[in-house]
Amino acid sequence: MRVVAGLHKGRQIKAVPGKSTRPTTDKVKEAIFQVIGPFFQGGNCLDLFAGSGSLGIEAISRGMDSCIFIDKHPKAIHTISENIKNLRLEENSEVFRTDAYRALKASAKRGITFNLIFLDPPYGKANYTELINEIEKHNLLNEEGVIYCEHDPNERFSFPIDNFDIMKQVNYGGTIGVTILAKKNKS
């Protein structure tokens, strides 16, 4: 794996050892960042279920000011920390070993909001509707914020899209489903 574009373009990122994570491929990262970016003029992002941290690292490389990386698995936390250290992104990053719901509540208590939230849980292990409702309940997404959801392409679920527009919904190679949600403009 590598950083696809931006300040750290071409730099290698380590994957989490074992088969517990499935890293987002460089090809998919390039395609999705063309929709949500491709580059940013600052802002904060949250990488829930971060795995190796590659999505959040890509966002920082493309101009996000900072990213909070969340995962509950020790191997993932170790890998994220190593990747951040190797790219010298310690000043732009916070890494926490906890579950997604605790992380969302902790972010709300700290008064943090995000321009971009990555939801990339192990397939079949998370309820996207509950996660998005929790994000909304705590007002964690900025007015023009985006939520990236990676899921099994065969998984059929409904998003609580009352407050969101679907920017893109696509399957990549029959192995990765991606849905990108943007907050609806209230004007």
Q: What is the largest CA-CA distance in the chain?
A: 47
11 within domain boundaries: no
Residue found under tokens 């939801």: 119
Residue 5 lies in a domain: no
> Is 134 in a helix, a strand, or coil?
helix
pLDDT of 22 reads: 66
CA distance 120 to 156: 16
DSSP 72-119: S-HHHHHHHHHHHHHTT-GGGEEEEES-HHHHHHHHHHHT--EEEEEE
**DSSP class of residue 42?**
S
**In-domain check, residue 19:** no
* Pair 69, 97: CB distance under 8 Å: no
Asked whether the beta carbons of 119 and 131 are under 8 A apart, the reply is yes
**Domain harbouring 121, CATH code:** 3.40.50.150
Distances (CA, A) of 123 to 1, 7, 82: 20, 31, 25
Closest CA to 67 of 114, 11, 15: 114
Q: Between β-strands 114-119 and 66-71, what pairing exists: parallel, antiparallel or unpaired?
A: unpaired
Residue 88: the pLDDT is 96
Place of tokens 């609806």: 184
Q: Locate 170 and state its tokens.
A: 């696509």
* Residue 12 domain-assigned (yes or no): no
- If one counts the domains in the chain, the total is 1
Residue with token string 């990213």: 67
Percent of the chain with pLDDT over 70: 93
pLDDT digits (tens, 9 = 90+) for 89-99: 999 999 999 99
pLDDT exceeds cutoff 90 at 48: yes
Q: What is the pLDDT of residues 20-45, one digit of tens each?
A: 666 777 888 888 898 898 899 999 99
In a domain, residue 21? The reply is no
Residue 183 pLDDT: 83
Under 8 Å between Cβ of 142 and 163: no
Residue 114 or 171, more confident: 114
- In the three-class reduction of DSSP (H, G, I as helix; E, B as strand; rest coil), residue 37 is classed as coil
17, part of any domain: no
* Bigger pLDDT: 125 vs 66: 66
Q: Which pLDDT score is estimated for 124?
A: 77
For residue 50, the enclosing domain spans 26-183
Looking at the domain assignment, is residue 178 inside a domain? yes
In a domain, 74, yes or no: yes
Distance CA 49, CA 23 (A): 11
